[in-house]
Amino acid sequence: MTVVEPNTPPSITLPSAQQTATVGKSLDFTVSAQDQNIVGDPVTLSATGLIKNMAFNPTTGVFTFTPDQSQAGQTFNVNFTATYSDNPSASSNRMVAIKTESSTGQPSTPGVLPSGISATLWLVTIGAVIGVVSAIALLHVRASAQLASARRRSRSIQGQTGPRRALGTRQHSRSSTERTLRRETEDD
């Protein structure tokens, strides 16, 4: 009969059980493990539950995740396992929940978008503002053209009737004067 001392599973070290990743930004952390029975014994790391845009290097323990917009608002569970192959082998597991957040307020070019506004909403708003400004500018140009045309017509009409009026006014004044003179002569 062989008596085997019970192995204590390796300990896994993670930054925390809950992580937050932002769309378009890289989330990086390192997972490490060690044999609690014999310090320095090799421990093998592995990860399950990896999805698109996640990577885990079992040799270095480096985990990276850069979520895209389709992954925003979701939570992903990644299980890390540390195993050593002593006789008997032992392993331990730790899960990390990674919540992904939209990049709202996090522009791809810093300083371009106001905080708290998504790129889509910002583009729609800018498009609406450009549309309103363009409409006002077109109305202004049209009104200016109509005003200029009305001024030209007015000047043209004044140019055509101006001398006649003046002449007519003079003639009217002469006839009034002549009538007044006749009346005065007749009265005398």
- Predicted TM-score (pTM) of the model is 0.52
Q: Are 33 and 45 in contact (CB under 8 A)?
A: yes
The predicted structure's pLDDT at residue 50: 95
One pLDDT digit (tens) per residue for the chain, 188 residues: 665 566 678 888 888 878 999 999 999 999 998 877 767 678 889 999 999 999 999 999 999 999 998 999 999 999 999 988 776 678 889 999 999 998 764 444 445 566 667 778 878 888 899 999 999 998 999 999 999 888 888 888 887 765 555 444 555 555 666 666 666 666 65
Q: Are 106 and 57 in contact (CB under 8 A)?
A: no
- Provide the residue ranges of all domains of the chain, joining segments of one domain with +: 11-103
- Give CATH for domain 11-103: 2.60.40.10
In whole angstroms, what is the distance from residue 93 CA to residue 171 CA?
115
Query: 154 by DSSP, 3-state: which?
Result: helix
In whole angstroms, what is the distance from residue 31 CA to residue 29 CA?
7
